[in-house]
Amino acid sequence: MSKTIFQKIIDREIPAKLAHEDEFCIAIHDIDPKAPVHVLIIPKKLIPRVGAATAADQATLGHLLLTAAALAKKLGIAESGYRIVINNGRDGGETVPHLHVHLLGQRPLAWPPG
């Protein structure tokens, strides 16, 4: 199986604007942002989608959400509010088969989305 674009970014084969990196994940600014702040938090471990995660991935999933909250503070959107999105499957809007969390903010976000 060929690498996903996110694996190539993690391996530094493709450049990206980093917002955060630690031993478990990388966070990059989205190249097609849907809000003034739009960051993708991506686990370094390949998990195709949240629906494919197992109990063994529990710590990774928690780390992604805690990283999103920390980035919201760092990027100045924690007080005004932000949205965290995880797409799963074609109808859920998934375009890359590598789990990632979208962190969006710095503008009012309507409900329902889509």
- Tens of pLDDT, residue by residue over 39-90, are 999 999 999 999 999 999 999 999 999 999 999 999 999 999 999 999 999 9
Residue length of the chain: 114
33: its two tokens:
């942002």
Evaluate whether the domain defined by 5-105 bears CATH number 3.30.428.10: yes
Domain ranges in the chain are 5-105
pTM: 0.94
Rounded CA-CA distance 91/82 in Å is 23
Rounded CA-CA distance 24/106 in Å is 26
Residues labelled as active-site residues: 100
**CA-based angle 60:26:45, to the nearest 5?**
45
